[in-house]
Structure 1
């Protein structure tokens, strides 16, 4: 590979818009940040490099959100825009609900969600840019003033008073030179796939077939799950495991190609070893489902102990009950840790190893909290917040908090915090947690006691 460099000539960029807030990344996390800010009266730009909103839930075809109840399924722990969006999808018969299930709270139609998110964005007067890539931050006099973007109209600048990085990979934070890090054991990615003809596998232990014949097809030993899309006979399967680092261009490219290869391998296993199989591959995701890339160093790193012991934060802005779910990058299978002390090691082809990560106790927590300070990047820029899976968390904590319903709440919190910072002419770090929690509750979020 050549190490030569080229000089890109400086250019004047046309400013295509000026806003109170610019949100980078159109996942549900980013969309919810934009909507909460718009409801409070901010003008908002929303930048997304793909052709639709929703991120992993839509573009990556992961059509499952986890329960809004605590681990004991007795207490609601969040509401807000996640519930609003589910309610809108219910009106289109696009959701199946199973709230007392640790694996699936809601299963939805990802295509319906894409359109519903379009409507939400437009209803709230948010200015969307699709097929638009973030290129670089524009810093003047030590302050982040704008971002450069590239799309079909060429390279342009978007100015804003405040910015939320909801890119999933912390692209804005990284290009601002803020401290980021890659976990020593990064959770692998998964490419989903949609199949018709799944009913022809009735009576077939397809998971066992994958385990039994996977080595012959060069399939890593992972974890396969799936279910039918609501109102359809199409089956969504998540059964691949891809280890490439998606925070680099080379790794991301390899991951996309490898994920598709593994989908075909699973398809071929069924064709060869399930005699009555008539599976047809109907669609692949527009982007592989990424569990983890880089993290940004924030004012607080959430730890596994804080999650597993249900630590309370005075600036809590999000709540979750999804178990610690570690997809290993250095050995087959995965490990589940529950707040009640149970631990389960699931390894393909072997019985589950059931134990405890701590002794049984009568007063186990049933949910955990995410603090606002874990959304505030360390560094000199006081008008930037992080939201989504790259916030500051150690490997154990990340295994729990990374799921979409948790990250959706961080988006809502960031949008409300941006409003408070601009209204009070203060930095993101100076926003009052009490005022933030109160305003989130006023807007429909469920704020539990701290």
Structure 2
């Protein structure tokens, strides 16, 4: 039965909008791409298959963003819309700020962020399409001219002069037939959850409880951390480890169900072994937090050597300092590699192992860069850019650059590059990198 097919009759599909730019995917990466382009004067639409914008930061409940400073906290390395958004949330007492912390710079209220992104979309006169699924690209005479979508109104088409794939999985690129690939060791996903009453565990080593009794509840060994939701008694817990491949429908479905099972298992474990701590499960994510699925082949693959050596690129459009953070798919725990040459491996129930991935050096890089070329898919479509975690990066580079504050910058760059390409009648690959960097800096980004 799996090989059986049915015939879908041909039909005329109404065009419900024509724009300069269509952004596919409503994560913060996609939203920031849309805002940058709209502020430069483009008519912009953004398409999101879920019911809100923000991606992992809202739908998946991951309520932390990392530092805007380099690894030694001596120099600010990014600004732009990430900072602007956090500043807006501060006005609502929806952010807790942390100074010189390698693990996080801001913890925020994901629900407040949902509404803030709605307001930013409205303020910049961007046309939103929520609960709208991407179906297929439409090609006319070898040119990407529109995308076909489906929602409560049925099937329709959105035409645009330029497109940005910010789907996280490269869905538009993949369905255009462009080359995509998967890493040999794909990082597992995590289902987060919000709990109330977590403060009752303050005198209890809950991480040790999970380690000692996790096997009893079918919990794989991994890495567990938590973050308080500002101005509330809620705690976001990231303690699950889900190995299913989320790049296909069956794997994605299984991952969602397995992630929720593990959340309940953690809750049941704590009820049994910390019975005097009355914690309650308050909220589950609308979507599992995915670290990695497929990547698209671009004009340059960013490598781990590029990242760890702090290689400077003439077409750099983003700067980051978050460590290489490898959640292993073939053994418990995680490995951290730092720009100063240090390395650590954390495995539940064992002492942390320290070492070096390179010898001691008198001079160490303190940040790394992402080049514009890693956002330009190879292939025949000159009016297409990639932004987000599926850009071209090897396993080690991806483990560092994938965090949201880095990917937000790729969105801002893609939106700006789309404006430049349309302004000068160019293909994405022909956009002048120096001009791109200048416009980004003029509009709030930090270019180093």
Please say whether Structure 1 and Structure 2 have the same fold, judged by a TM-score greater than 0.5.
yes
Find the counterpart in structure 1 of residue 50 from structure 2. 50
Q: CA deviation at 1:402?
A: 0.1
Find the counterpart in structure 1 of residue 290 from structure 2. 290
Contact (CA 8 Å) 1:68, 1:105: kept in 2 or not? yes
Distance 2:362 2:97 in 1: 30
* Superposed CA offset, 1:201-228 (max 9, x none): 1211111111111111111111000121
Contact (CA 8 Å) 1:94, 1:109: kept in 2 or not? yes
Contact (CA 8 Å) 1:69, 1:99: kept in 2 or not? no
Q: Which runs of 5+ in 1 are unaligned?
A: none
Distance 2:6 2:99 in 1: 55
Once the two structures are superposed, the pairs formed by residues 375-414 of structure 1 within 5 Å of their partners are 375-414=375-414
Once the two structures are superposed, the pairs formed by residues 42-441 of structure 1 within 5 Å of their partners are 42-441=42-441
* Superposed CA offset, 1:25-75 (max 9, x none): 000000000000000000001000000000000000000000000000111
Contact (CA 8 Å) 1:304, 1:396: kept in 2 or not? yes
Distance 2:218 2:280 in 1: 21
Give the aligned length.
448
* Superposed CA offset, 1:163-213 (max 9, x none): 000000000000000000011100000000000011111211111111111
Contact (CA 8 Å) 1:68, 1:99: kept in 2 or not? no
Contact (CA 8 Å) 2:29, 2:409: kept in 1 or not? yes
Contact (CA 8 Å) 2:63, 2:227: kept in 1 or not? no
Q: CA deviation at 1:230?
A: 0.3
Give SS of 1:149's match: strand
Give SS of 1:163's match: strand
Moved more, 3-12 or 166-175: 3-12
Contact (CA 8 Å) 2:109, 2:230: kept in 1 or not? yes
Give SS of 2:163's match: strand
Distance 1:99 1:106 in 2: 9
Distance 1:173 1:259 in 2: 28
* Superposed CA offset, 1:352-397 (max 9, x none): 0000001111110000000000000000100000000000000000
Find the counterpart in structure 1 of residue 18 from structure 2. 18
Contact (CA 8 Å) 1:13, 1:157: kept in 2 or not? yes
Q: CA deviation at 1:128?
A: 0.2
Distance 1:225 1:159 in 2: 43
Contact (CA 8 Å) 2:58, 2:114: kept in 1 or not? yes
Moved more, 211-220 or 11-20: 211-220
Contact (CA 8 Å) 2:66, 2:405: kept in 1 or not? yes
Q: CA deviation at 1:99?
A: 3.0
Moved more, 250-259 or 198-207: 198-207
Give SS of 1:125's match: coil
Q: CA deviation at 1:274?
A: 1.0
Q: CA deviation at 1:275?
A: 3.1
Give SS of 1:219's match: coil
Q: CA deviation at 1:6?
A: 0.9
Distance 1:265 1:356 in 2: 36
For normalisation by structure 2, the TM-score amounts to 0.99
